Chain A
Amino acid sequence: MNPLIESVRQCFPDAVAASHTYRGDATVVLRRGSLLEVARFLKEDPAFQMNYLMDLTAVDYSTFGKRPAPAFFPSSGVSVRPSPQIPDEDPWPGPPGCSRFVVVYHFYSVAHKHRLRLVVPVEEANAEVDSLSSLWPAANWLEREVWDMFGIAFRGHPNLKRILMYDGFEGHPLRKDYPVKKRQPLIGPSN
């Protein structure tokens, strides 16, 4: 078991819903309410010292596994076999829970050179998470982007407005139910 995951589980036993190390990436699935204290712990605890919030993004799992994947000669014996250097004993457990969205945080520590991924499931009805911009200023723009693209709000964010799309845009483009070609032009025809 990965030592990072072990320590997080020990310190926050009721916050951790699940964990895995698929392909060597230590991942912890957290409950939404305890995000801020776990993040603060990761930043300040000397064994972790996760001073980098590398990435903050979200995934919309509403059409996971529902897209057609045409079978190709299932009897041909051709399948994906990972190379021996990468262990595949524990396959990926799948998208966490039954919530539509998941907010994913990647942390890195310069001192210890280790990485950790936090995954926070968020339901569609109450799409709100605590903001980490008080701990890492990097979270400011990253959370604005998640708001813009997915519509997940961040409590405590100083300036939650659209960053990549323009103000008159309606909808959140990276959600699975937003069609790719649906344009909302400011000027010109909606070609």
Chain B
Amino acid sequence: MPPEVNTTFGTTADLETRDMLLNVGPAHPAMHGIIRILAKLDGERIHEADVEIGYLHRGFEKMSETVDYNGVIPYTDRLNYVSPLINNMGYCMAVEKLLGIAVPERCHYVRVIVAEISRISDHLTCIGASAMELGAFTVFLYMIKAREYLWELVERVTGARMTVSYCRVGGVKGDLPDDFAEPCRKAFQETRKVLGEVDGLLTRNRIFADRMNGTGVISAEDAISYGITGPFLRATGVDYDVRKDCPYAVYDRLPFDVPVGTRGDNMDRYLVRMEEMEQSMRIVERALRDIPHGPVQVNPGTGRAIPAAEMVDLAKVGNIVAIADGSALACPTLEGSNRAAHESIATHDKRVFLPPKEDTYGNIEGLMQQFKLVMFGHGVRPPRGEVYFPVEGANGELGFYVVSDGSGSPYRVRVRPPCFAIMSALAKILAGDLIADMVPTFGSVNMIGGELDR
């Protein structure tokens, strides 16, 4: 319908106009993931935005009902795939709460260390990708360079760069390597250098500031009523961080600050994330200083861990009952030696160490332990019950609601995805902004498809 020709020099309010519907379709240039935004535009201003998700729905909750408790862990890796260790940790702690067991303190410290490293890599990816969408390609390259250092660090600990499956119900897969502190220090040195460079490139950059200041604003009350948590909420001024308010693992012993913004716009979110990375590095450094020595794994059946040497000794005198309850600490390289016991007992002495894998298959004691945890249908069997356990994910409160019916696989595993809440508020945030503001706003949401759609 053509606009009515007004011959009496009226204002644009007299013209009949129609909103243009722009479909920012599921396949779009932003690196963040596949969603569809149907924007009703009036010129360049967005009147209304309809956000459609679900393009990466992979059935996490349905799949987790088909495997056993430890088998859900690879699926949790792929939820928020830029910070997989936080998801692993959240799920394992939820199941441990259901079981009612406590893991050794060292295990808590290890989990905190790797979770914070994961959080740093998540924020690096988020800021890097959103800067790239605004045209700052150099920042993206720098951030990914820093992320590579962190991923090499994660690879030292877990064996994989990204989808790690590191935590287990009752502990973690293996201890930190002995020489972890030095590469960690170097990686953080590089990361701090990169953060300094990026700060110089972006924070007071006129173009960046103009695009980020005042765009994508949300008020604190709106954020709370939409269920938004994490850096998005803290940028609006509300000081809610699960690590401080409902502390878990050993966060209550580690001093760190929680950065809180004021205006709730994109610039504040960027600044909050930059500062959070620095705080995470502080947590890791302090945790590495305070970490106690000791075992990292616990038997989900009883909660008691025994060193391998002791287990073999008990088996030799026929005390099977004592070892039936316990779990031996096996080295992840499967050579059968316990590193902690290594230093205090004569090395390579086969009579006192847990036999290597070939003997597990030839020896009844090792076989029993192996069988008990690995065979399908046995494994971890929590009592009937339901629990909800929240952890601080990189995007906000990541909660796991686990219902168990007493059998070997979970009855229901529900993930409370932090970016789901943020995305539900996206329509409200975008209304009133220019179409070009959609790019930095969507970038600062840090939408991770695996978590949003599960």
Interface residues of A (CB under 8 A from B): 22-23, 25, 27, 51-55, 57, 59-60, 64-65, 67-70, 72, 76-83, 85-86, 88, 91-92, 94, 104, 106, 110, 113, 115, 117, 136-138, 140-142, 149, 162-166, 173-174, 180
Q: A59-B411, A110-B224 are in contact. List 16 more A-B contacts (CB 8 A).
A: A25-B386, A52-B224, A55-B416, A68-B377, A69-B377, A72-B372, A79-B301, A81-B302, A91-B383, A104-B386, A110-B240, A117-B388, A142-B420, A149-B61, A164-B453, A173-B62
Q: How far is the CB of A27 from chain B (nearest CB, A)?
A: 8
Question: Assuming the A-B contacts A23-B385, A83-B102, A140-B424, are A180 and B63 also in contact, with contact meaning beta carbons closer than 8 angstroms in the complex?
Answer: yes
* Count class of interface residues, chain B: 35 or more
Main SS at interface, chain A:
loop
Q: How far is the CB of A45 from chain B (nearest CB, A)?
A: 16
- Contact between chains at A78 and B325 (CB < 8 Å): yes
Q: How far is the CB of A181 from chain B (nearest CB, A)?
A: 10
- Contact between chains at B407 and A163 (CB < 8 Å): no
Question: Total contacts A to B, CB within 8 angstroms?
Answer: 153
**Which A residues are CB-close (under 8 A) to B202?**
none
Question: Assuming the A-B contacts A22-B386, A65-B405, A136-B225, are A55 and B414 also in contact, with contact meaning beta carbons closer than 8 angstroms in the complex?
Answer: yes
Name A55's contact: one of B66, B401, B453 (CB within 8 Å). B401
Q: How far is the CB of B369 from chain A (nearest CB, A)?
A: 11
Cα of A70 to Cα of B102 in the assembled complex, Å: 26
User: At the interface with chain A, which of B3-11, B51-59, B306-314?
Assistant: B51-59
| Per-position binary interface string of chain B over residues 353-393, scored 1 when its CB falls under 8 Å from any chain A CB and 0 otherwise | 00000000000000000001000011001111111101000
- Contact between chains at A83 and B407 (CB < 8 Å): no
- Contact between chains at A141 and B424 (CB < 8 Å): yes
Interface residues of B (CB under 8 A from A): 53-54, 57, 59, 61-63, 66, 97-102, 222, 224-227, 229, 238, 240, 245-246, 300-303, 321, 324-325, 372, 377-378, 381-388, 390, 397, 399, 401, 403, 405-409, 411-412, 414, 416, 420-421, 423-425, 428, 453-454
- Contact between chains at A22 and B324 (CB < 8 Å): no
Name A92's contact: one of B59, B302, B372, B383 (CB within 8 Å). B383
Question: Assuming the A-B contacts A23-B385, A55-B388, A69-B381, are A82 and B416 also in contact, with contact meaning beta carbons closer than 8 angstroms in the complex?
Answer: no
Question: Assuming the A-B contacts A23-B387, A64-B405, A110-B238, are A137 and B225 also in contact, with contact meaning beta carbons closer than 8 angstroms in the complex?
Answer: yes
Q: How far is the CB of A150 from chain B (nearest CB, A)?
A: 11
Question: Assuming the A-B contacts A55-B399, A137-B226, are A25 and B388 also in contact, with contact meaning beta carbons closer than 8 angstroms in the complex?
Answer: yes
